[in-house]
Amino acid sequence: MEIPKSYKALVVRENPEGKFTRAIEEVGMDFLPDNDVLIKVHYAALNYKDALSASGHKGITRQYPHTPGVDASGVVVRSRDANFSPGDEVLVTSYDLGMNTKGGFAEYISVPAEWVIPLPDSLNLREAMVIGTGGFTAALALYKMEMNGQHPDMGEVVITGASGGVGSMAVSIFKSAGYTVIASSGKTEHYPWLKKIGAKRCVNREEVSDTSGKPLIKPKWAGAIDTIGGNTLATLIKACGRNGNVAACGLVVSHKLETTVYPFILNGINMLGIESAETPREVRLKIWELLAGKLKPPLLDEMQCLIKPEEVTNYMDDILEGETSGRVVACYT
């Protein structure tokens, strides 16, 4: 494949006043780092972390100008690694992509070979990005929960922030794995859609946010996946059934957690941290094999919002305001 001298990318710049601007620019190929594998991007998915990076969050991205985008799929153009050849269909999620390495909202990315995952046979490049980090995180939560003994026979599993990217993927993936799913969302207008993609029933935010001050309350679910944090996470823990697992993978509302040791030492609750960015490669390959097989969401087309590259910045504002649902995917082909 011929490599151009320049390409189009969403570029976030910091001006002398400390403010940040976002625009699609034509940049030289030297804007990219000189890594092992050069990939022509076909699709890139939008995540909450991308919107933070594009807003100048120095905890996400330290140096600007920068291109966000932690998820990308496409075709290898050039490789210095023997495991990849021009024409290979691949995907890249997490690691440092879109954080301090130029990310997926561009026509090209350049990444270390160990970040690159061969596209599974039963997925196409678009489907891989509809799943993306959101689906990978949900599947990793399931994987870790089942390593700790979680099983569908134990009872219902509740998923908070269910209409978001990770939450909606979790609803579908846990349903595919045989679980009965409670979807928690403040967006009642999405309840019919959540039931369609896998939820048995839907509950509002108040039902997963106990304010009684009690260290333990009557069990309401056998396990939980939380994208919210704060009092919601504390409630999930103290209302979880005996020996259940609560997977924490987000902090949309708060990074704080105030609870007691009682759920852990009296009910044997396991709290699991879900960190997808640096998941070991052997586990990452296993998770993607599952996502392409028995855990593949059956209604992926109904969980996607396909957009043009020039629409990405508007959707970044929406995701920060909690106005998106499902997975937002930019098409570069």
Say if 289 falls within a structural domain: no
Residues 254 and 321 in one domain: no
Domain with residue 164: its CATH number is 3.40.50.720
Inter-axis angle of helices 165-176 and 125-147, to 10 degrees?
Answer: 70
Residue 153 belongs to a domain? yes
Question: Do 196 and 225 share a structural domain?
Answer: yes
- Are 199 and 162 in contact by the 8 Å Cβ rule? The answer is yes
Position 53 scores a pLDDT of 94
Can you give the pLDDT at residue 178? 97
Same domain, 208 and 315: no
Whether residues 144 and 34 share a domain: the answer is no
Does 149 fall in a domain? yes
pLDDT digits (tens, 9 = 90+) for 185-204: 999 999 999 999 999 999 99
pLDDT at site 325: 83
Q: Are 204 and 146 in a shared domain?
A: yes
Residues 217 and 154 in one domain: yes
- pLDDT for position 303: 92
Residue 286 in any domain: the answer is no
Query: Looking at the domain assignment, is residue 293 inside a domain?
Result: no
221 shares its domain with 318? no
CB 45 within 8 A of CB 74: no
Distance in angstroms (rounded) separating the CA atoms of residues 194 and 128: 21
Domain contains 91: yes
Same domain, 35 and 73: yes
Q: Which residues neighbour 92 within 8 Å (Cβ) at sequence distance 6 or greater?
A: 39, 71, 72, 73, 104, 109, 111, 115, 116, 117
Positions of the chain with pLDDT under 50:
none
pLDDT at 252: 81
Considering the domain architecture, whether residues 251 and 327 belong to the same structural domain is answered as no
Q: Are both 260 and 217 inside the same structural domain? A: yes
Residue 98 sits in the same domain as residue 43 = yes
> In the prediction, which pLDDT does 145 show?
98
Q: Are residues 138 and 114 in the same domain?
A: no
Q: Which two tokens stand for residue 87?
A: 């024409």
Q: Is residue 225 part of a domain?
A: yes
Domain of 10: which CATH number? 3.90.180.10
User: Is residue 278, in this structure, part of any structural domain at all?
Assistant: no
pLDDT at position 47: 92
Q: Which domain holds residue 61?
A: 6-119+300-331
Total structural domains within the chain: 2
CB contact at 8 A, 102 and 109? yes
